[in-house]
Chains A and B, each alone.
Chain A
Amino acid sequence: MPEGRLIALLRALTEAGVDFIVVGGVAAVLEGAPINTFDVDVVHSRDAANVSRLLHVLDSLDTVFRIQPERCLRPTANHLEGPGHLNLITRYGPLYILGTIGQGLSFNDLMPRSSKMDVGGGVEVRVLNLETLITLKEELAGEKDRAVLPILRRALAEKTARADKPSFPPLP
């Protein structure tokens, strides 16, 4: 079976040695919340060496800004060094590159609130924890964010309460 787009994107970033933390919907799913999302959101380290590695891999993935994709505007080091949000489209689908999230939280701020996860195919990524995802969604308070909050809160409560794994049949 060919590798899926999400895992391919995460693999490309990981194999390029980029320091990043998966946040947003994919992080919520990896933490066990049953929600759907189409894009990968990551907060990257904005130090010069990491920006250079990230720029290189984005280039190799034919990445352009999602707004006016027909103009093929490519992100630059200047964009990646800033705290803002870049809405990009790569060969493997949509990607949000976030300099900071919430109240200006950077990669270094989020590191202690994240953990490494094996996401399959030999790829290991750092993922933001559910507690922080909930706090960030509460701060944003947009309609879309509010909609998933009950699911995230219940997932956290179930996760916390779980002592043992219930036995479910394995995935086909």
Chain B
Amino acid sequence: MPDEPAPAPDYSEDGVDLSLIRWMLSLTPAERLAVLEQHINDILAIRELNA
């Protein structure tokens, strides 16, 4: 039985989360923008709670 290829690493040698990049690349540009928008809203809401 042939050896299965090794799974792609989750992190690069310089510590970049490659699984996060792969997930982002699986989204459409519109979905990527929606993710960013949601992060901004969440951060602003937390800031407001702690103001």
Partner of B27, one of A5, A37, A158, A171: A171
Query: Which residues of the partner chain A approach B29 to less than 8 Å between Cβ atoms?
Result: 30, 117-119, 127
- The SS class assigned to the A binding surface is mixed
Q: Could you say which residues of chain A place their CB within 8 Å of the CB of B36?
A: 6, 26, 29, 36-37
> How close is B45's CB to chain A, nearest CB, in angstroms?
13
* B residues near A119, Cβ cutoff 8 Å: 29-30, 33
A104 within 8 A of B: no
Interface of B is mostly: helix
Interface size class of A (residues with CB under 8 A): 20 to 34
Question: In the complex, A104→B45 CA distance in Å?
Answer: 38
Contact yes or no, B28 A154, CB < 8 A: no
Q: Is the CB of A33 within 8 A of B18?
A: no
Whether B33 contacts A30 by the Cβ 8 Å rule is: yes
Specify which chain A residues have a CB less than 8 angstroms from the CB of B12 in the assembled complex: 150, 154
Q: Give min CB distance, A37 to chain B, whole Å.
A: 7
* Distance from B26 Cβ to chain A, minimum over Cβ atoms (Å): 4
Which residues between 28 and 62 of chain A lie within 8 Å of chain B, taking CB atoms?
29-30, 32-34, 36-38
Residues of chain B whose beta carbon lies under 8 Å from any beta carbon of chain A: 12, 14-18, 20-41, 43
